[in-house]
Amino acid sequence: MDIYRFNQLKKLLVDQLNLKVTAHLKVVKMSGGAIQENWLIQDNDFALVLRKNSEAAVSVSSDREQEYRLLSRLYQLGIKVPEPIYFKKAPNFLNSDFFIMQKINGVAEGHKLVRLADANIRKNITQDIGRSLASIHQVPLDDELTAFLPKPNKDEYLADKIHSFRVQLDLLQATNPILEYAISWMADNLPSIDELVLVHGDFRTGNIMIENNHISGILDWEFTQWGDRREDIGWFTAKCWRFGQNKNIAGGIGSYEDFSQAYTDVCGADVPKTELKFWHILSHVRWAIIAMQQSNRNDDMEIPSLELALTEFMVPKLEKNILDILGDKV
């Protein structure tokens, strides 16, 4: 962040948030946040996170105003999210809509989490994750949420999502026969949808903050929508998010049985593992398309990102996983 933006941000902290700013104030771009930018704002008496649009956005993600309003409502309802405290619409000194939220303590590093040696700790975390996801899926449908997050037609939502995959793949102008076949397979094997719940949309270990072996917060709500609960469960348990710990279906951390039982204990809904095949294929197709979109974003950025440029190289592995799932090799 250049000196002009730094000084404007410092003025905002004092004038709008009534914070005491000292010479120790630091503003540092945080790692992660592959689609949006997150900046740590820290001084002696506070630690905040500023979240803004990246230079090149992914069209399927929400805007920052919608995410801010969603976090505000979820925080009111007691969901473990960062407390949002300020929103500013563009035009402004950052040339982007942005919001500021309290920083949550903990770490969200899935590749480390799956390698915890203590099986009991991993089991407890797995169960805590199951309970937390169930609490999200129990968020009530109310006018405050539907004002900016309209509920889709239950009977059309999934077919529309599959169609959007076709559109996004066409826009990428790439030849991907495995992804095209997987999309056709999904279109021919649509599961029945009993009800729509609030779906996080990116529920995985990289967005789950852990402190002292318990969940301290859930991050990155830019893909939140109303959908089938199995969409979140399938994403969390998909092979691409197990970091090589494939026997631990629940995010590479623990057993599906521990996760599922904790989930059911809170919300009453039972999702058998046998129902996940469709949702695992959907997860891999979706992640493959996002990976290619991320790589293409690099061309639109003033300062290229090696991380974004390399995401496309994950696609062959995702395609291999799709073939394994279609062959029932979970």
Domain boundary among 79, 102, 125: 102
Shared-domain flag, residues 134 and 282:
yes
Shared-domain flag, residues 94 and 131:
no
Q: What is the pLDDT of residues 40-92, one digit of tens each?
A: 999 999 999 999 987 655 556 678 999 999 999 999 999 999 999 999 999 99
Percentages helix, strand, coil for the chain (3-state, rounded to 5) are 45, 15, 40
> According to the model, what pLDDT value does residue 31 have?
77
Are the C-beta atoms of 13 and 19 separated by less than 8 Å?
Answer: yes
Which residues, at least 6 apart from 330, have a Cβ–Cβ distance to it below 8 Å?
239, 249, 276, 277, 280, 324
| Tokens read off for 137 | 């899926």
Shared-domain flag, residues 33 and 160:
no
Query: What average pLDDT does the chain have?
Result: 92
Residue 316: HSE in the Cβ half-sphere, 13 Å Cα cutoff? 2
Shared-domain flag, residues 71 and 123:
no
Shared-domain flag, residues 177 and 87:
no
Here the CATH number for the domain that contains residue 259 is 3.90.1200.10
pTM for the whole structure: 0.93
Mean pLDDT of 277-282: 98
Shared-domain flag, residues 66 and 194:
no
Mean pLDDT of 9-38: 91
Q: How far apart are CA 46 and CA 20, in angstroms?
A: 9
Domain boundary among 102, 120, 142: 102
The number of domains in the chain is: 2
pLDDT of 261 strictly over 90: yes
For 123-141, the DSSP string reads: HHHHHHHHHHHHHHHTPPP
Identify the H or E element spanning 244: none
Shared-domain flag, residues 75 and 132:
no
> According to the model, what pLDDT value does residue 323 have?
96
Domain boundary among 63, 82, 102: 102
At 117, the pLDDT band (50, 70, 90 cuts) reads confident
Least confident of 34-43, 78-87, 92-101, 116-125: 34-43
At 36, the pLDDT band (50, 70, 90 cuts) reads confident
At 310, the pLDDT band (50, 70, 90 cuts) reads confident
Here the CATH number for the domain that contains residue 75 is 3.30.200.20
Shared-domain flag, residues 162 and 59:
no
Shared-domain flag, residues 178 and 46:
no
Shared-domain flag, residues 28 and 138:
no
Q: What is the pLDDT of residues 182-239, one digit of tens each?
A: 999 999 999 999 999 999 999 999 999 999 999 999 999 999 999 999 999 999 999 9
Shared-domain flag, residues 212 and 78:
no
> According to the model, what pLDDT value does residue 60 have?
60
Shared-domain flag, residues 316 and 169:
yes
Residue 170 belongs to what domain range? Answer: 110-326
